[in-house]
A and B are shown apart, each in its own frame.
Chain A
Amino acid sequence: MTSRTGREISIINPGRFAALSERALPWLAGATVVCFCVGLYFALWASPEDYQQGATVRIMYVHVPSAWLALFTYVVMTSAALGTLVWRHPLADVAAKCAAPIGAAFTFVALATGSVWGKPMWGAWWVWDARLTSMLILFFMYLGLIALWRAIDEPSRAARVTSVIILVGFVNIPIIKFSVDWWSTLHQPASVIRFDGPTIHSSMLIPLLIMASAFMLFFATVHLAAMRTELMRRRARSLRLRAARAVR
């Protein structure tokens, strides 16, 4: 058991991660482009218009995947925060730090496209609805965490502080998910991720899932690339520190 755990940890050590990610990145990037091409074809041309919402239903194919990824990114950051605090894994902090800007971008896209969809359907760009407000809080949490990482110079201290805040902030994730059930809101209830299965027709569900896969692959590609960059930056920092110590 001990040796198995040891082998698992050695697979995800920074050196082996760099080698594995270098091989995986071109495949992931290629799959992302293919998935986006197929998804956009279905989303903009091959899928039907909604009988009530008309063409605006096509906004769903970018709005919903970006909202899912905004939440998923935070779940990744929470797992990484646990990895930092509990197992002190050297890659966990790197994973959390690199996910934050991507999560912020997805949250921004979900809020902005939701606003563009809300104007023709609700007659307002913005309402202080439970779902919208909790998503806005998530966006500010991402920005706050990015600012905190930049404010603390010492990486291990920054990792500990941000990990605690990430874990505390996780309380917002179930609030976002269930806000449409717990409160009376203008935002429609869940129609895909439900205990009793999706209520959306397959002609719209399939394009939505293809676009969601494209967003997920995009996240994996950019996140891996950003992690490789962060490892490079940390190596440069340790070389500089070693040189500075030697001068003293």
Chain B
Amino acid sequence: MTGAYAPFVLAAYALTGGALLTIVAWAVIDRASARGALERAERAAKQKTQRDAR
């Protein structure tokens, strides 16, 4: 793309791409953190059940 308006068009697409990729990154990081929290909670619950059984 060439011409005087090209920087504006490219800036608009870069802004959009950046925002959409940020949302994807947020979804991935949030999922990893939630999975970690769930694993810790399940481990703690399992240990408690084993302690109670003893």
Binding site for B on A (CB under 8 A): 44, 54-56, 58-59, 62-63, 66, 101-102, 105, 108-109, 112-113, 116-117, 119-120, 218, 222, 225-226, 228-230, 232-233, 235-237, 239-240, 242-243, 246
Contacts and interface: CB of A to CB of B under 8 A. Distances in A.
Given A116-B12, A233-B37, A236-B40, A226 B30 contact: yes
A54 B3 contact: yes
B8 A117 contact: yes
A235 B12 CA distance: 40
A109 B44 contact: no
Contacts of B45: 239, 242-243
A236 B37 contact: yes
Contacts of A112: 12, 15, 19
A62 B13 contact: yes
B9 A105 contact: no
B10 to A, nearest CB: 10
20 contacts: A54-B5, A55-B3, A55-B6, A58-B1, A58-B12, A59-B9, A108-B19, A109-B19, A117-B8, A119-B8, A222-B24, A225-B27, A229-B27, A230-B34, A232-B34, A232-B37, A236-B38, A239-B38, A243-B44, A243-B48
Interface of B: 1, 3-6, 8-9, 11-13, 15-16, 19-20, 22-24, 26-27, 30-31, 34-35, 37-38, 40-42, 44-45, 48
B18 to A, nearest CB: 9
